[in-house]
Structure 1
Amino acid sequence: KEIEKGSIILLLSCPIYRDTILNGKILGGVLTITLAISTSITASTGVIMAVIGIMPTIDEAIRLIIYLIASVIYISMYMAISVYTSIATKNTSMSLLISIIVWLTFTQLIYSASSAISALIPEILSETRLKVLTAIRMLTPDQHYYNFSMNILNEKMALEPFGIFLRGAAPGRSLTIIESLAISWPNLAIITSILTAFIAASYIKFLREEVRC
C-alpha cells in the first residue's frame, strides 16, 4: 500500500533500516491474528464450559494451546503470501485479487479437482482412486492443517500425516499428546515451511527493491 501511494519514499527517508518496515507489518499481522484466534478459542471454551459445566483437563488445555499455535501459523501463512504479492505487484487491488485466487485454489479448487479426477478412475481400481484423491489433496496446506488439527484435538482417532481417513487408537486407550504430535508434526512442518519461504521471499524482494520518486 505504501509503495502504491508513494508514502514509502517518505518513510524510507527516516533513519530506519528497510527491514524494520517489513518487521512491523509482519509482527503486527501475527499479533492481530494471535489476538483474534485466542479470543475466539477462549470465548468458545467459556461458552462450552458454561453450557456443559465440565472443566477441560490439563491434557485438553495443552491440546488447545497447540491448536492455537498451529492456527496462528496457518493463517500467518496466508498473510505471508499476501505480503509477498503486495511487494511483488506494488498494487493493492492486484495483490488482493491474487491472494483471493490463492486462497480459493487451496480451499476449493484443489478439492474439487481431486474429486473430479479420482472419479475418472474405474471403481474396480478403488485403491488407485483413493491414492490419487489423497495425493492431490495433500498438495494444499489446508489438508495438512486439517490433519494436524484432527490429530491434536481428537485423542481417540488419528489421521496419517499424508492420509485423509481416520484410524482409531488401540482399544481401551487414548493417544497421548506426544503420540499425536509424533504422527502429525510433518503437517505442521510443511505449513511452517511455506510461511518461512514467503516471509524470506518478501524480505529479499523488498530489500532489493529500488524505490523511485
Structure 2
Amino acid sequence: MPPDATTADQSPAVLSGTGHKPSKGSPFQGLATVALKEAADHMTSPRMHLVMLLMVLTAIGAIYAAIGQIKNTVSEDPFLFLNLFTLAKQPFPSFVALLSFLLSLVGITLGFDAVNGEYNRRTMSRILSQPIYRDGLLAGKFLGALLVVAINLIALFLLVTGMGILMLGLPPSGEEALRGLAFLITCLAYSGVWLAVAMLFSTVFRTPATSALAALTLWLIFTLFWSMIAPGVASLIAPIDPYNPMTAIHQAEITQVISRFSPSTLFGEAATGLLNPATRSLGLVFMSQMQGAIPGAPLPLDQSLLLAWPELAGLIAAMVIVYAIAYIAFQRQEIRA
C-alpha cells in the first residue's frame, strides 16, 4: 500500500520507506495524551502568558469602571451583580465587549500554528509513526487548546466575582450564578469557533504567518466590517419600495439574518439575552407583541435560556462545521518523513 493511501481509511500515516504498518484500534487512540500535552505546552508558553496578562488587566479595568457606575446608581436592581459584565464607563468598554474582542484573539493565538507548526519542526511524521491516528492528533490539539481556554475563563470569572464581592459587599444570587455559568459556556463556544478557524488555516497553509494573517483577516471582516456588509447585501436582495412600508421590515429582517452569520453578532446577542434579564427579544419587536407585557420586568431564567439558545446553538454549529472542514483537509494531506 502506498504511503498516501492510508488517509482513506483514517489510519496513521505510514512513513515513506520505513515499513510501518497501520495501527489497529480506536481512531481516537492517543487523543487524551495529545490533548494533555497540548494543554501543558500552551499553559507554559510565553505567548499564552502575555495574552492572559492582557485579558486580566483589561478585565480589571472594565470591572473597576462598572463598579463605579453601579455605586452611582440609586435605583434598586435585583440583578445588580450582572451589571458588572454589561455596564461600561468611558474610556473602558464593558466586560462583555472586551471578551468579544479578546476571546477571538485567544482562539486564533492557540490555533494558528497547531498543524503547520508540526510540519515546520519536522515532527509530524514522528508523531504519526507512534500509535496515534490523525483523528486523535487533530482532535487532541483542538480539545487541548479548548481546555486551556476553559481553565483561563474560569479563573477570569472567579477573579471578577471576587472583585465584585469585595467592592460591592454582596455575593451573586443563585440565578445570577446560573446566568453567569451559561454565559461562560457561551464564551467557550465563541472562542472555540475562532480556534477551529485558526486550525483550519493552519491545516491549509504551511507557514504559520500566512495562517495567522488569514485568520485575522476573517476575524476583521466578521468583527468590524460585517455590520456594514449586511445592510448592503440586504438592500440588494430586498430593496425598499417607498410605496410599501412592509418592504422596509422585510429588508430589516434579512439584514438581521445576514448579520447573524458573524460569530461576534451571535455572541453579543446571546450575552444580551443571558446577562440582561429584561431583554424579551433579540430580533424586531412590534407593539402588538408587547401587549400585556410588564415594562422592565425581568424574564425567568428558563425563558432567557430559550431566548439565547438559538445563538448558542449557532456558535456550536459553526465550531463543529469549521472543525469538520479542517479534519477533512488534514485527512487528505500526505505525510512524508
TM range (shorter): 0.7 to 0.9
2:280 alignment partner in structure 1: 158
| Contact 1:145 1:187 (8 Å CA) reproduced | yes
Q: Alpha carbons of 1:20 and 1:136: their partners in 2 closer, same or farther (altered >3 Å)?
A: closer
Q: CA deviation at 1:159?
A: 3.2
When residues 53 and 116 of structure 1 are mapped into structure 2, their CA distance, relative to the original with a 3 A threshold, is farther
* Aligned match of 2:147: 31
Larger radius of gyration: 2
- 2:134 aligned residue: 18
SS at the partner of 1:159? coil
Alignment match of 2:315 (pick from 188, 191, 203): 191
Q: The residue matched to 2:318 in structure 1 has which SS? A: helix
1:138 is aligned to 260
1:49-60 alignment runs, 5 A limit: 49-60=165-176
Give the aligned partner of residue 78 of structure 1: 194
Deviation of 1:116 after TM superposition, in Å, equals: 6.4
Partner of 2:269: 147
| CA distance in 2 between partners of 1:67 and 1:204 (Å) | 31
Matching residue's letter, 1:134: Q
Q: Deviations over 1:86-136 (max 9, x none)?
A: 1111221111011101111110111133466789988x7664664454243
Change (3 A) 1:63 1:204: same
The one-letter code matched in structure 2 to 1:14 is Q
Q: Larger % of helix: which?
A: 1
SS at match of 1:28: helix
Query: What is the TM-score normalised by the length of structure 2?
Result: 0.56
Instruction: Give the secondary-structure state (helix, strand or coil) at the position aligned to 1:139.
Output: coil
Greater CA drift, 6-15 or 184-193: 6-15
Is 2:298 the counterpart of 1:174? yes
Q: Contact 1:144/1:191 (CA < 8 Å) preserved in 2?
A: yes
Partner Cα distance (1:196, 1:61) in 2? 28
With normalisation by structure 1, the TM-score equals 0.86
Which whole-Å CA distance do the structure 2 matches of 1:201 and 1:25 have between them? 15
Would you say the 8 A contact 1:147–1:159 is kept in 2? no
Q: Which residue is 1:209 aligned to?
A: 333
Q: How many residues align?
A: 211
Q: CA deviation at 1:188?
A: 0.9
Mean Cα deviation higher: 126-135 or 61-70: 126-135
Asked if residue 88 in structure 1 is aligned to residue 204 in structure 2, the reply is: yes
Cα distance change of structure 1 residues 28 and 128 upon mapping to structure 2, 3 Å threshold: same
What is the distance in 2 between the residues matched to 1:63 and 1:112? 31
> Is the 1:89–1:95 contact (alpha carbons within 8 Å) kept by the matching residues of 2?
yes
Contact (CA 8 Å) 2:278, 2:296: kept in 1 or not? no
% identical aligned pairs: 26
Task: Please give the root-mean-square deviation of Cα atoms over the aligned residues, in Å.
Answer: 2.7
Note the residue ranges of structure 1 that are not aligned, 5 or more in a row: none
Name the stretch that deviates more: 13-22 or 30-39: 13-22
